[in-house]
Structure 1
């Protein structure tokens, strides 16, 4: 299946999830991640502020911050690359491009992600054999992930059924090392 049709099908499946399913999934994903020693020890975490039917990260970001991690969230630039700024609590966010909440803190630059000890990214799907993630098609996270060191844990958050075989891949598509679904943590590479 090509990327366009796969994205369409995955978005349709996500839109059919009830608010109760989304909440339950968010709790399971958050608890699974927060149980991992390498998550607990990460001093600087790059994450994202979820929107719509994405696996919800608001509680995860807050929990990481409350447990002492510095959390950086993306700020979408005009060229669709990602700048980064520090999250300093729920009152430090404002709507950015496309209405996605962004930190009001000073922008740290596109290379700020290089200093993260843990990187959590959105995905519509991840290939269980290769770790290649399928995003929404703008390439923002592929560019950001290309800047991350090889030993840094990279994690995609997914709903059930989004860890699949055969995600179409192009040379610029980046892999993640882990996926977290409501069923648990999966090591991919």
Structure 2
């Protein structure tokens, strides 16, 4: 039910409001030392009414940061490919699932995320402890588990709208807190 509630609020955003928020989010995120100093950032291409990532992806790419973008696999796990600019994205309709923009370049493997200095995670909300409510597919839970098994510790960052930072979210045993959330009104860090 929580996911439906957050999606419903997002769906009421105007395109103009979403574009303005995306520009502000990109500017705020680019100021984060975790992204400013990163050689490699694993990110994602926003879909629908999600907080926009395209301006941020383009700015990171222009800086020379290696940006890894996910390629959804049939089992909901993620492979990765390097982002080579807006022209390198292709629309992919996943059978029985969502249509995503994915990188058209060569896949570099699910383990490529282990090279990331920072990982931008999609989400619907985050609470005061840094617990993230994901979209519900489990893809990024697998990414976080992969990082944990490899003892890799990239900065974990979520881009959200202000109303999506809430006091408390229920959590499951596999959930892991993020390090920071970026919203149009600012950055909030967690322990």
Normalization by structure 2: what TM-score?
Answer: 0.92
Alignment pair present for 1:61 and 2:41: no
Displacement of 1:132 in angstroms is 1.3
Q: Judge conservation of contact 2:122–2:135 (CA < 8 Å) in 1.
A: no
Give CA deviations for 1:64-120 in whole Å, capped at 9, x if unaligned. Answer: 000110100000000001111001111111112232011111111111111101111
Moved more, 54-63 or 38-47: 38-47
Q: 1:26-105 residue pairs with structure 2 within 5 A?
A: 26-96=22-92, 97=94, 98-105=98-105
Q: Judge conservation of contact 2:131–2:171 (CA < 8 Å) in 1.
A: yes
Match in the other structure for 2:145: 146
Alpha carbon RMSD of aligned pairs, Å?
1.2
Partner secondary structure for residue 147 of structure 1 = helix
Alignment pair present for 1:161 and 2:163: yes
The runs of 5 or more residues in structure 2 that have no matched partner are: none
- CA 1:150 to 1:179, structure 2 compared with 1: closer, same or farther past 3 Å? farther
The runs of 5 or more residues in structure 1 that have no matched partner are: none
Normalization by structure 1: what TM-score?
Answer: 0.93
- Give the number of equivalent residue pairs: 184
- 2:84 and 2:15 mapped to 1: Cα distance? 27
Match in the other structure for 1:132: 131
Q: Judge conservation of contact 2:114–2:152 (CA < 8 Å) in 1.
A: no
Displacement of 1:38 in angstroms is 2.7
Q: 1:178 aligns with which of 177, 180, 190?
A: 180
Alignment pair present for 1:118 and 2:114: no
Partner secondary structure for residue 161 of structure 1 = helix
Q: 1:12-31 residue pairs with structure 2 within 5 A?
A: 12-31=8-27
Displacement of 1:37 in angstroms is 2.7
Displacement of 1:150 in angstroms is 5.5
- 2:162 and 2:36 mapped to 1: Cα distance? 24
